Homo-oligomer: A and B are copies of this chain.
Amino acid sequence: MSKQLEDFSKWYIETIQKADLMDYTPVRGCIAFKPDGYEIWEHIQEEMDRRFKETGHRNAYFPMLIPESFFQKEKDHIEGFSPELPWVTEAAGEPLEERLALRPTSETMIGHLYSNWIKSYRDLPVLINQWANVFRWEKKTLPFIRTSEFLWQEGHTAHVDEEDARQETMQMLEIYKEVVEQVLAIPVYDGQKTPSERFAGAVDTYSIEAMMKNGKAVQAGTSHYLGTKFAEAFNIKYLTKANKHDYVHTTSWGTSTRLIGSVIMVHGDEQGLVLPPRIAPTQVVLIPVGPWKKNPQIIEQLDEIFGALKAKGIRVCLDDSDQSPGFKFNEWELKGVPLRVELGPRDLDNNQAQLKARDEADKQAIELANIVTAIEQELTTMQTRLLEKARQFREANAYTHIESLAQLQQHIKAAKENSTIPGWVLAGWCGENACEEQVKEETKYTSRNIPFNPPITKPTCIGCGYKAKHTVWFAQAY
């Protein structure tokens, strides 16, 4: 087993700290996002936000504090969230008449407001997104993956009918899949959550699920069809074309800064981060090597490359500090910078530079005349390659041959003995909560989702052995 996998949590924490992505703070479970960590989020935001706007959504901002009475209005919602809420009870030296929760999500506040904003079918659909901080006071936290305060976007839409709302729910899931696969280079399975894993208050929850390098799953995004549940709780009615009063159908959908954690756990290796070019704060680092200080042409040449890359909008850094090349290589590898260009006296004599991709073992010698084009190409190639590597890793660690709970237990045991990853397991499921519960209790595997496109269909339930209704991904999850 690789050193990375021997103690994956330790590797993860050390890596994100060394790479300067975050720091702990004295507030339980709250981290500081340092510039290199936050910039990854900014690139994710740009990509998401553009797609939201292209599909007709607009941003808005709602109050962070939510009156306690709002939570009471949707029974499932309060049950799901109340164990995790922090409360403001006093302000400006006086106790509040009603406690105010720090939002864990905004369905209730937005439901209240939509009931005022929506009057007629002419007002629909309402397509609004919010970028915001949210709070869930969880017992076990892990930087980026699960923190007491995190950053996210939450879409909240209202529609004339179920069909329109369900179409929106699926559209947003597809956008999430596209960004996570194409921009973060993380392959995902899209599918439907089982009832026990649904969002508190949803009729149906859909998710995209990603496999980390230790075989655990991360729910990378969710999209919910909420039916008329929040419309009924908050009385969001509209006048139909037929002049009747009907409840709207609502959706909500979210992705969060846990995507940063996922990128690290999917692509990182023993040398540190490996960042996909599209979200890397620095995409290319230029490093002079050999006795470069005696040869001013080397820095001149690198300056020229630097300028040419900048002009093309590539995020480039020229490291002309006094450290040794070896030290610099380590530093920039740790930070996961996709491409490194080395230039020394011998390279210059040969009219070439060395190009090294973070995820590949070998350097390529590139003619100086072609270096900018080669870098541009390699950034694109690497982006695709990282997705492909992650896909291969996932296929190698997603098992489809398991038919029963006994076989799953055996599989997990064998993995432990052989120091391999037990990974994900595709299994049949009869649809009964009890069977899912049994799997969880005995193996810590939970249902991730019912994939839209499973590699194969499983005929028997992993719990009871009776006929399966669904084919489900099971995995240990963050």
| Chain B neighbourhood of A84, CB < 8 A | 92
Q: Are B61 and A92 in contact (CB under 8 A)?
A: no
Q: Does A329 sit within 8 A of B, measured CB to CB?
A: no
Q: Which stretch of A24-32, A415-423, A460-468 is in the interface? A: A24-32
What separation, in Å, do the CA atoms of A60 and B25 have in the docked complex? 14
Tell whether A34 is near chain B: CB-to-CB under 8 Å: yes
* Also in contact, A35 and B60, with CB within 8 A (given A91-B86, A92-B86): yes
- Beta-carbon contact of B25 and A38 below 8 Å: no
Point out the residue from B26, B86, B149 that lies within 8 Å of A67, measured CB to CB: B26
Residues in B neighbouring A196, C-beta threshold 8 A: none
- Are B87 and A88 neighbours in the complex by a CB distance under 8 Å? yes
Does A365 have its Cβ within 8 Å of any Cβ on chain B? no
The answer to whether B35 and A58 touch across the interface, beta carbons within 8 angstroms, is yes
Interface flag for A113 (CB, 8 Å): yes
**8 other A-B residue contacts (CB within 8 Å) besides A83-B92, A85-B92, A92-B139:** A26-B112, A27-B65, A27-B67, A32-B60, A39-B59, A84-B92, A86-B91, A132-B133
Task: Knowing A86-B88, A88-B102 are in contact, say whether A63-B137 is a contact too (CB < 8 A).
Answer: no
Question: In the complex, what distance in Å separates the CA atom of A26 from the CA atom of B128?
Answer: 20
B32 close to A59 (CB less than 8 A): no
**Given known A65-B27, A67-B27, contact A60–B83 (CB-CB < 8 A):** no
Q: Is A175 located at the chain interface by the 8 A CB criterion?
A: no
A41: chain B residues within 8 A (beta carbon): 61
CA of A366 to CA of B447, assembled, Å: 64
Total contacting residues, chain A, CB less than 8 A: 50
Instruction: Decide if B38 touches A60 in the complex (CB within 8 Å).
Output: yes
CB neighbours (8 Å) of A32 from chain B are 60-63, 109, 113
19 contacts between A and B (CB under 8 A): A25-B62, A25-B113, A26-B67, A26-B112, A30-B64, A30-B65, A32-B60, A32-B109, A33-B60, A35-B58, A35-B60, A35-B128, A37-B60, A41-B61, A87-B91, A88-B89, A89-B89, A92-B137, A133-B133
Cβ of A61: which chain B residues have Cβ within 8 Å of it? Answer: 32-33, 38, 41, 151
Minimum C-beta distance from A26 to chain B (A): 6
Residue-wise interface mask of A (446-472) relative to B, using a CB-CB cutoff of 8 A (1 in contact, 0 not): 000000000000000000000000000
What does the 1/0 interface line of A373-410 toward B look like (CB < 8 Å)?
00000000000000000000000000000000000000
Complex: how many Å from CA A100 to CA B312? 46
B26 x A42 contact (CB < 8 A): no
Give every chain B residue within 8 A of A60 (Cβ-Cβ). Answer: 32-35, 37-38
A 109-131 binary contact with B (CB < 8 Å = 1; else 0): 10011001100000000001000
> Is A90 interfacial (CB 8 A cutoff)?
yes
Residues of chain B lying within 8 A (CB to CB) of residue A30: 63-65
A59 touches B86 (CB 8 A): no
Specify the chain B residue showing the minimal Cβ separation from A129. B35
Nearest CB of B to A45, in Å: 11
Answer whether A93 and B89 are a contact pair too, CB < 8 Å, given A27-B100, A35-B128, A60-B35. no
Q: Interface digits, A72-116 against B, CB 8 Å rule (1 contact, 0 not)?
A: 000000000001111111111100000010100000010011001
Q: Chain B residues near A112 (CB, 8 Å)? A: 25-26
Contact residues in B for A86 (Cβ distance below 8 Å): 65, 88, 90-92, 100
Segment 40-76 of A: residues with Cβ below 8 Å from B: 41-42, 58-67
* Residues of B contacting A59 in the complex (Cβ-Cβ under 8 angstroms): 35, 38-39, 42
A102: shortest Cβ distance to chain B, in Å? 7
Q: Is A23 close to B, CB under 8 A? A: yes
Docked CA distance A83–B93 (Å) = 7
CA distance A128 to B34 in the complex (A): 9
Closest to A89 in B: B89
Complex CA–CA separation, A102 to B63 (angstroms): 13
Question: Looking across the interface, which residue of chain B has its beta carbon closest to that of A88?
Answer: B86
Beta-carbon nearest neighbor of A139 in chain B: B92
Residue of chain B at shortest CB distance from A58: B35
Q: How far is the CA of A139 from the CA of B87 in the complex (A)?
A: 21
